[in-house]
Chain A
């Protein structure tokens, strides 16, 4: 860690979420101190995406607390939109707006939500694009970019409004290995800058490198959590061991 560790920026207490009769998250507790990286691992369908979506209120939770800076995001009496501007999320499927140029994708929220002047917003966007070697793509439409470039633009778009917390949902799962690295490099950079992040991923090597805490989810429960060396290299829980063995067999470790 380069930065000092503060109090928890994000805290989940007994978060529960069901779809119809299917219970997808069972009383999940999670503490994410400022300037730390929490990595969620687990099989497909274990609830990683749902957990991230519950954090920034894209899904209504059934019960529990989602405390961001001590404020309950799930409470309708708090202005969720306003707090959510402080949380960036990047999806597996990029979700760039196809009808806008890269630059407009990035400046949209700055201009419309934060009322920044266009010139100023574009200058800020170009600076960010420069950091991630994307300046020459500024006027392109997303469809014309490679997957890795699209995903990096999606990250820049989320970063443009200076969030305090970044959520990443399997951001490399749709990319080939070379492109995976260019995207993961961006995340490593952010960690150096002290960004607080919650990351769902299948890249165990990457998880080991960036995580302060690794949480293994199974059936909507965090069955094991701890330092990456412990959870990924010396898991104690049988489910974790089994999952990692399967990942290992698939050659992803």
Chain B
């Protein structure tokens, strides 16, 4: 079957000699013009809004100064390599932190949702943990751990690099959030699914692993990815401990030159990673939904 090149994936011809009829072609033309109309409305309104905002900014009296101190392109290119070096450290910390968060939050979520009486003390512990770390501002946790642990003068632990301590603080806080997201996913799976799996002879753990978690996690994928993007940005907070990642590097450069372009460069580096990530995850999600819910009915 050949697809209609002018109308998305509507078929245009098939081996049995069929060609779209006059009225079908008219319908497709109408559909196309409707979507064209929608698109031109969207385009025009975007151009108007962006144009208006741009005009307000560019015509403001402070604009020439802002342009020179924030958008100095040659200077930006000059500091790019050193900020990029710092950014690589950010990415490394994100990679390590996300693995730790994934493992720990899964454990906390499973403990929080377990029903066995024997696990009761762990449940209480996990609840206290979540309450504490979800309720404390991340920046305070970073400061407390980053400056508190070295001050304790403990063997080994106190001599850890501040980057490690900062990352640990982020892991502790994010684990609290992510565990709750995973737990809500687990709880959203209908009890009949558990019953069906148990009646097939699957153990409690197997039911969790093969039936409940795959459905629950898929359902909370959007908030989890949201948290991942947040993590990418929040990892920059370790700069307050003096870790020379992208933001800290940008600050060092800015302090030297009194020009804020390095901050804009750092912001762009973060955007270059986060925007494609969000688009990519949108796509993954859409495919997985359409594959599972082909008709939405039997």
Q: With CB as the reference atom, state the residue of chain B lying closest to A72.
A: B23
CB atoms of B34 and A76 under 8 A apart: yes
Say which one of B24-32, B42-50, B150-158 lies at the interface with A: B24-32
Grouping DSSP codes into helix (H, G, I), strand (E, B) and loop, the B interface class, with mixed when no group exceeds half, is loop
Q: With CB as the reference atom, state the residue of chain B lying closest to A74.
A: B27
Q: What 0/1 pattern do residues 47 to 78 of A give for CB contact below 8 A with B?
A: 00100010000001011110000001011110
User: Among the listed A49, A64, A72, which residue makes an inter-chain contact with B298, where contact means beta carbons less than 8 Å apart?
Assistant: A49
- A164 at the B interface (CB under 8 A): no
CB atoms of A63 and B18 under 8 A apart: yes
- A170 at the B interface (CB under 8 A): yes
CA gap between A80 and B44 in the complex, in Å: 27
User: Among the listed B14, B26, B34, which residue makes an inter-chain contact with A23, where contact means beta carbons less than 8 Å apart?
Assistant: B14
User: Among the listed A76, A93, A169, A170, which residue makes an inter-chain contact with B27, where contact means beta carbons less than 8 Å apart?
Assistant: A76
Report A-chain residues with C-beta under 8 Å of the C-beta of B16: 23, 26
Question: Interface size for chain A: under 10, 10 to 19, 20 to 34, or 35 or more residues?
Answer: 20 to 34
Q: Tell me how many residue pairs across A and B have CB atoms closer than 8 Å.
A: 52
CA gap between A23 and B1 in the complex, in Å: 9
CB atoms of A173 and B27 under 8 A apart: no
Q: What 0/1 pattern do residues 149 to 173 of B give for CB contact below 8 A with A?
A: 0000000000000000000000000
Report A-chain residues with C-beta under 8 Å of the C-beta of B298: 49, 91-93, 169-170, 173-174
Report B-chain residues with C-beta under 8 Å of the C-beta of A27: 18
Min distance, Cβ B18 to any Cβ of chain A, angstroms: 7
Min distance, Cβ A24 to any Cβ of chain B, angstroms: 12
CB atoms of A91 and B24 under 8 A apart: no
CB atoms of B30 and A77 under 8 A apart: yes
CB atoms of A63 and B295 under 8 A apart: no
Report B-chain residues with C-beta under 8 Å of the C-beta of A4: none
User: Among the listed A26, A75, A93, which residue makes an inter-chain contact with B297, where contact means beta carbons less than 8 Å apart?
Assistant: A93
Min distance, Cβ B1 to any Cβ of chain A, angstroms: 5
- A152 at the B interface (CB under 8 A): no
CA gap between A170 and B295 in the complex, in Å: 15
CB atoms of A76 and B31 under 8 A apart: yes
Say which one of A14-22, A128-136, A225-233 lies at the interface with B: A14-22
CB atoms of B11 and A18 under 8 A apart: yes
Report B-chain residues with C-beta under 8 Å of the C-beta of A65: 23
Q: With CB as the reference atom, state the residue of chain B lying closest to A98.
A: B190
Q: What 0/1 pattern do residues 92 to 127 of A give for CB contact below 8 A with B?
A: 110100000000000000000000000000000000
Q: With CB as the reference atom, state the residue of chain A lying closest to B32.
A: A76
Report B-chain residues with C-beta under 8 Å of the C-beta of A49: 295, 297-298
CA gap between A16 and B1 in the complex, in Å: 13
Given contacts A18-B11, A76-B34, 17 further A-B contacts (CB under 8 A): A14-B21, A23-B16, A27-B18, A49-B295, A53-B297, A63-B20, A63-B21, A72-B23, A75-B23, A76-B27, A76-B30, A77-B30, A92-B297, A93-B297, A95-B296, A170-B298, A173-B298
Interface residues of B (CB under 8 A from A): 1, 10-11, 14, 16, 18, 20-21, 23-24, 26-27, 30-31, 34, 295-298
8 A-B interface contacts by CB (under 8 A): A16-B18, A21-B1, A27-B18, A53-B297, A63-B21, A64-B24, A76-B27, A95-B297
Instruction: Give 6 closest A-B pairs by Cβ, nearest first.
Output: A92-B298, A63-B24, A91-B297, A93-B298, A76-B31, A76-B30
